[in-house]
Amino acid sequence: ILSGLVGSEMCIRDSHWHLRETYTTLKEATDAGIWSYPTTVEERARCAVFEDLHEKGFFLSTGLRFGGDFVVYPGDPLRYHSHFTATILATPTQPIPAYHIISSGRLGTAVKKSHLLCQANTRIIDNTQAQDRRRRGDDDSLHKPWGRVEYWSLAWAGFGT
């Protein structure tokens, strides 16, 4: 049925992939090749920041329109304007060029938001280690698998934020 719509490589038996099996853990889905996120240090840092801010009661959305990784709302985005744009720093040792700090502060001011630098200490030093943890399912049973997150807020004083 789907082979004519998608391409000749797909056969009829693949059209019922959703009926095959239910996975109850991320490890099972990873082992089956259905799920692989997160597998890099950067993806793990994004998960850490998302989880930490969400647990603090914030709502997050993509931050591309405002020059960040996330836009952070104090509540439901349909009721509130965002207060922050957020940039993720993947490791505690990731260098930040001075121009990035200046441009983040200026951009945050231009869009009437404070800019958050979010640094995640995920205890993972490289992508190979991150992929191994995902493959083994090491993070699935932990309450805070991603590690600790620290925040710095950038805003130009006296310029509208």
Residues with catalytic roles: 73, 81, 113
Q: CA–CA separation, 25 vs 80, rounded Å? A: 35
Q: Please say whether the dihedral angle defined by the alpha carbons of residues 9, 15, 20 and 21, taken in this order, is positive or negative.
A: positive
CA dihedral 120, 124, 128, 130 (to 10 degrees): -60
The CA distances from residue 2 to 16, 19, 33, 34, 97, in Å, are 10, 15, 21, 20, 50
Question: What's CA 127's distance to the chain center, in Å?
Answer: 15
Q: Which tokens go with 118?
A: 């979010």
